[in-house]
Amino acid sequence: MRFADTGCRPEIQATLAGMVSSGRIPHAIMFSEPDGGCGFATALAFLQYLYCSARGADSCGECPSCNRISKLIHPDVHFIFPTTAPRTSLSLIQEFRALVQQNPHFKEAELYEALGVESKSSLIAVAEAREVLGTLSLSALEGGYRSVVIYLPEKMNQEAANRLLKAIEEPEEKTQFLLITHAPERVLATIASRCQHIQLGGSMPAPEFQEPELLKKLMEALLSKNLLEALAVGEELAALPSRENARAFCKFAAESVRKMFLVQQGIDLPGGVLGMENEWAARARKTFPRAALGCLDRASRLIERNVNMKIVFTDLVDRLIGLV
């Protein structure tokens, strides 16, 4: 992967190349990108330029080091990404390589699909940190840099983050950490503060919610006081492919509830978000919309704080059914 192939802005390419050319390379760089952005491709291009034996304005793309890095098989470059126990990044590296070769601008959901893991329970566990730290304790096999690429450091649990913190704070000579994040605000602050931050594109927008039927099912269960059915819908919401999708549901549901509030205040509302708000407003208590908005906002904040999704939506259902 050469800088020219990443799709990132020319000034970013020039900055990264300048770090290497000047010898002033931060020991830890954190790339922030929207999902499906150029973060991983840019990190790979930076490493290829760093290791290249014939670099100019860009890596040569032809030397043995460039060849190995482009195929993710360089012995001194290690990759960490979210998985589900007991599998580790090393045990799934073949699947990861195949994904990157097919599309270096892959999305988070595509990673989980390629690895065959559940997105809702995926994380970077302490076993990953131990494995990498053990590898970094050995000399570089080719005598140059040793590099660790961490995809989605916001998915590290506390123990893994604490283990890696010391290595990032006080790295051995010629040790390079590259982090690619979709949510820099959720990366452990002590790790983030040790990194050179590079923003690639804007912050990731919340996706549009694509499964409106889930809200219909939830509202019908709530209005019918059917707790078991409402909890079943909560299970479906907990199984959404990502936390961003879950937050998108909360935003979508909140918009619909606001429409219900307007209907209950006597404001004419043709259509609405789902076309069901008039009916729901007639069946729900007048106190429901305001209280429900508070519950949805709470759920969204818990999702952002990485609380278990099943707990979040079970709690949400339990709160809402007492309000209708």
Count the neighbouring beta carbons within 10 Å of the beta carbon of residue 283: 14
Q: Which residue has the tokens 């602050």?
A: 189
Structure tokens at 247: 């937050």
> Could you give the 3-state DSSP secondary structure of residue 216?
helix
Phi, psi of 266, rounded to the nearest 5 degrees: 85, 15
Question: In the chain, what percentage of residues exceed pLDDT 90?
Answer: 40
Q: Among residues 291, 294, 289, which one has the least CA distance to residue 265? A: 289
Contact 67, 10 (CB under 8 A): no
pLDDT value at position 310? 94
**pTM tops 0.75, yes or no:** no
Q: Among residues 142, 30, 151, which one has the least CA distance to residue 100? A: 151
Per-residue pLDDT of the chain (324 residues; tens, 9 = 90+): 888 888 888 888 888 988 888 888 888 899 998 888 899 999 999 999 999 988 888 999 889 999 999 999 999 899 999 998 888 888 899 999 999 998 999 999 899 999 988 777 888 988 888 888 887 776 667 667 889 999 999 988 888 888 888 788 777 788 889 999 998 888 887 788 788 888 887 544 445 677 889 999 999 999 999 999 999 999 999 999 888 889 889 989 988 898 888 888 887 655 555 578 889 999 999 999 989 998 998 998 898 778 899 999 999 999 999 998
**Domains, the chain:** 3-199 (3.40.50.300), 212-321 (1.20.272)
At 171-185, the pLDDT tens digits run 778 888 999 999 888
Q: Among residues 39, 35, 43, 38, which one has the least CA distance to residue 16? A: 43
Can you tell me the distance from the alpha carbon of 306 to that of 318, in angstroms, rounded to the nearest whole number? 20
Q: In what order do the strands lie in the sheet with 196-199?
A: 77-80, 146-151, 175-181, 28-32, 196-199
Can you tell me the distance from the alpha carbon of 96 to that of 118, in angstroms, rounded to the nearest whole number? 15
pLDDT value at position 41? 92
Can you tell me the distance from the alpha carbon of 126 to that of 162, in angstroms, rounded to the nearest whole number? 9
pLDDT value at position 205? 45
At 227-257, the pLDDT tens digits run 999 999 999 999 998 888 898 899 899 888 9
Q: Which amino acid is at 77?
A: V
pLDDT value at position 203? 42
DSSP 71-102: TT--TTEEEE--B-TT--TGGGHHHHHHHHHH
Question: In the chain, what percentage of residues exceed pLDDT 70?
Answer: 94
Phi, psi of 11, rounded to the nearest 5 degrees: -65, -30
217's enclosing H/E stretch is helix 212-223
Give the list of residues 6+ apart from residue 310 with CB closer than 8 angstroms, or none: 120, 234, 235, 238
Can you tell me the distance from the alpha carbon of 113 to that of 247, in angstroms, rounded to the nearest whole number? 21
Mean confidence (pLDDT) of the chain: 87
Contact 111, 99 (CB under 8 A): yes
Count the neighbouring beta carbons within 10 Å of the beta carbon of residue 5: 16
